[in-house]
A and B are shown apart, each in its own frame.
Chain A
Amino acid sequence: MYVLRRIGVYALAIGAAFFCAAPFLWSMITAFKQNRDLYNPINNPFVFNRPATSDHIIYLFTKAAFGTFAWNTLWVGILVVVITLALSLPAAYALARLDRPWAGWFGITIFLVYLVPPSLLFLSLSRIVVGLGLQDNTWSLVLIYPTITIPVSIWLLIGFLKAVPRDIEEQAMVDGYSRLGAFWRAVVPLTFPGIVAVIVFAFTLTASEFIYALSFVSPSTEKVISTGVPTELVRGDVFFWQSLQAATVMVALPLAFVFNLFLDKFIAGFTQGAVKG
């Protein structure tokens, strides 16, 4: 019975992993194929019928400005994460700790803001972006993305902050710190796992966003990965398939790797935010 169950667990785990990762496995094979190999429906698509080539990956960096897209995604993501933390950490602390009678419904209202979808706002936001003179500029994304990340970050951080024992900040205040000092010196360091969860989640959300990036920014040097790759590597009906697949894999693997590192912390935050929030 025990052995059977172990086999069952392994079979399910391998099956699930395959179900999720199969498109990427195939992308990896495709990325190194020659055109004459790829565009022949008789060829076995899972093996190299001709020698592998790295031409299409070189093309990605030399002709398609993939490096620029990646760099834009990176710095936009980092700035958005910084803005998100700077705004949501104090807000979450106020809602979790400062014992305001309205903290409960206020927290819920902020969470509901997370549910307002970009598809409802992009038309008017693109007008606001034009009004601010930020159209076709990557900075417009730095300005707008925190509206997606702040509400969910506040919600996650409330959970982590509630898990920090009150005694610790009270002790810090007895030791002569002001409330602000106790927050900064005693509470924030203990919330570090939550901060990490927010960094990872906010960055992933930012890197995935599509509608705002598509409607605010059109010059190719200002684009981010999520819009640059599909628009610059598809010219009319011509798809640069190998380069597209290479780009997908190169973005997917590091993001999943980092997310996996912090998955346990993320799960802990979700539990606390949901159960005690």
Chain B
Amino acid sequence: MTGVRRIADREGTLAWLFLMPSVVYIIALVGLPFILAVGFALSDVTTGDPSFDFVGVRNFDAIFDDPVFWRSLGNTFMFTGISMVFIVIFGKVLANILVADFKGKWFVRFLILLPWTTPVTLGAISWLWLLDSIFSPIDWLLRQVGLLGEQGSLLGNGSNMYWLGEPGLAMGSVIAVHVWRLTPLAAVIMMAGLVAIPRDLEEAARVDGAGYWRRMFEVTIPLTLPVIAVSALFGAIFTFTDMAVVDVLTNGGPNNATQVLTSWAFFRGIDGGDVGQGAAVALFLFPLLLAAAIAILRAVRKLEVR
């Protein structure tokens, strides 16, 4: 008996020994900075004057009075919501393509992965040039087919669309780049779900005479719903917390039309030097992310039940 107990004790010690390095690392470099961020948000620290004075909720009052903050908040939600819908739809289609068998699959998979594996800033730079105000090849194509650049053309008689200069188009462009960049990730996650479906279930449905679309909507999609939820939330979190796309494409402009919370926090906190206000804006993200995290948890729970 004592021998068995000793092994159990040893396992407990070993578990802690194995976990400790990761836990210490995370507490020191995620937990501590998080608490520090809360502290900054309640202080008047600036890059010029790093002395720490407690000012209560003054930073929050200041950011709530700023119309740009509300604009950023609205944009953050809108960009995230719209991108998520497209990411899920395109991701689902891509996942179905990637599990099918066809010649040249390896090469197609390689091309499809490109947007996700490329560092965000570099992908965004490619798009910056695609959407250039003068040399955009999209505009060139539109001019060639007569949709742009002549009197009475459908898209106006100017020679260019100014994709990143018009507020509406700039918002559309930012969303398009997010969708382009995150769809492969969603597809890979959903592929994981598709691969995990027991083969016999689909076979049974096929034997029962269910066609492709019927199997898709009555077997495949219900069974992979939790994975679809996980990929939707991954997509949402990556869009929600990203600032590279906005920073490279529009720098928040024109006139803050594409400003989001993360970019606004960066401009306030680093470029503007007001660390306290920057931290307050960034901290505002947290309750929203926590809600998303709880939703992810529930989706993962559902998976575990299966």
Contact = CB atoms under 8 A, between A and B. Distances in A.
A225 interface: yes
9 contacts: A94-B14, A119-B265, A120-B34, A124-B279, A125-B29, A150-B25, A256-B117, A263-B113, A270-B189
A108 B108 contact: no
Contact of B21 (A87, A99, A121): A87
A90 B18 contact: yes
Contacts of B130: 23, 26
Interface stretch (A57-65, A188-196, A206-214): A206-214
Interface in A93-142: 93-95, 98-100, 103, 106, 108, 110, 112-113, 115-128
Nearest to A270: B192
Contact of B241 (A117, A128, A229, A256): A117
Interface string A9-20: 110111011011
B22 A241 contact: no
Contact of A210 (B22, B121, B269): B121
Interface in B110-150: 110-123, 125-130, 134-135, 137, 140
B22 A119 contact: no
Interface string A243-254: 011011001110
A52 interface: no
Contacts of B68: none
Interface stretch (B53-61, B161-169, B202-210, B283-291): B283-291
Given A21-B111, A210-B244, A248-B123, A266 B188 contact: yes
Interface residues of B, number: 102
Given A21-B111, A115-B292, A179-B14, A94 B192 contact: no
Contacts of A26: 126, 130, 137
B248 interface: yes
B42 interface: no
B296 interface: yes
A167 to B, nearest CB: 17
Given A30-B129, A248-B122, A39 B135 contact: yes
A88 B33 contact: no
A123 B129 contact: no
Contact of A115 (B22, B109, B123, B289): B289
Given A20-B112, A23-B130, A91 B304 contact: no
B195 interface: yes
Given A98-B14, A259-B117, A150 B22 contact: yes
B126 A23 contact: yes
A204 interface: yes
Interface of A: 5-6, 9-10, 12-14, 16-17, 19-21, 23-24, 26-27, 30, 38-39, 41, 44-46, 86-88, 90-91, 93-95, 98-100, 103, 106, 108, 110, 112-113, 115-128, 143-144, 146-147, 150-151, 154, 179-180, 204, 207-208, 210-211, 215, 225-227, 229-230, 239, 241, 244-245, 247-248, 251-253, 255-257, 259-260, 263, 266-268, 270-271, 274-277
Nearest to A179: B14
A256 B113 contact: yes
Given A13-B102, A118-B241, A275-B196, A256 B125 contact: no
B299 to A, nearest CB: 9
B283 A120 contact: yes
Contacts of B248: 230
B279 A271 contact: no
B37 interface: yes
B110 A229 contact: no
Given A12-B93, A120-B283, A252 B122 contact: yes
B22 A88 contact: yes
Contacts of B32: 124, 128
Nearest to B230: A274
B189 A121 contact: no
B290 to A, nearest CB: 8
B1 interface: no
B154 interface: no
Contacts of A91: 18-19, 21-23
Given A100-B12, A239-B129, 4 more contacts: A20-B183, A26-B137, A113-B30, A251-B119
Given A16-B97, A117-B237, A41 B278 contact: no
B191 interface: yes
Which of B17, B230, B244 has the most chain A CB within a 10 Å cutoff? B244
Interface in B264-306: 265-266, 269-270, 275, 278-279, 282-283, 285-286, 289, 292-293, 296-297, 300, 303-304, 306
